[in-house]
Structure 1
Amino acid sequence: MSNNISPVLLVVWAALAACFLALIVYRGQLTRYEEDQLFLNENINQNEHQQQDDIVRRVNKLQPLVRICGGAVGAMTIGVVGLYVYNAAKLLM
């Protein structure tokens, strides 16, 4: 019965891994142009300050999704590897 479940687990794992990678790439694109150092002056850099705040807001909004998806991928990886180790051990005995 576990042999029938293995392809389903692999498909679910692949879908979660693809979502996780897409989130990581998107987060990298958001922070690509973020400045390491920002000198804020009330009059001159208001537009830059607003852009940086927008980037930080988007990254903070995305962070819980990255953590949840990363945890799910990790759990699925452990499950898939555990299932294959169990099946291999069962065949050897």
Structure 2
Amino acid sequence: MTPNVVPVMWIVWAIFALVTALLYAYRSSLTRDEEGQIFLDDAFAHEKAVQTQIVSKVTKLQPALRASLILTVLMTIAVLAYYAWDAGKSLL
């Protein structure tokens, strides 16, 4: 790899890591208002609708969050592999 590739590699890693962090922050802000247990009857129909909406948003977010996390991990492995390869090359 040429030296010009290293900054690009780090920029790509930083973008993946930033997207992952933002998705986790968004999910955290969504689940902040989620109730673990609520008692539902006709008087709590609005709360039930709000909880259903939160669960729906979190469920839709999960595939993007999982893909982003996988890409970040793969890019981290690529960065570490590059530096291990570079260190091994300089030792020989």
- Interval containing the TM-score (normalised by the shorter chain): over 0.9
What is the distance in 2 between the residues matched to 1:7 and 1:18? 16
TM-score (ref. length: structure 1): 0.95
Partner of 2:54: 55
Across the aligned residues of Structure 1 and Structure 2, the Cα RMSD in angstroms comes to 0.8
Q: Does 1:4 align with 2:9?
A: no
| 1:15 aligned onto 2:15 | yes
* Pairs within 5 Å for 1:6-85: 6-41=6-41, 43-85=42-84
Kindly provide the amino acid, as one letter, of the partner of residue 54 in structure 1. Answer: Q
Q: How many matched pairs?
A: 92
The percent identity for this pair of structures is 40
Cα deviation for residue 5 of structure 1 reads 1.3
The residue type paired with residue 87 of structure 1 is: D
| Gap runs ≥5 in structure 1 | none
Cα offset for 1:39? 1.0
The Cα shift of 1:62 comes to: 0.4
Aligned equivalents of 1:68, 1:33: Cα separation in 2 = 25
TM-score by length of 2: 0.96
Aligned residue in 2 for 1:92 = 91
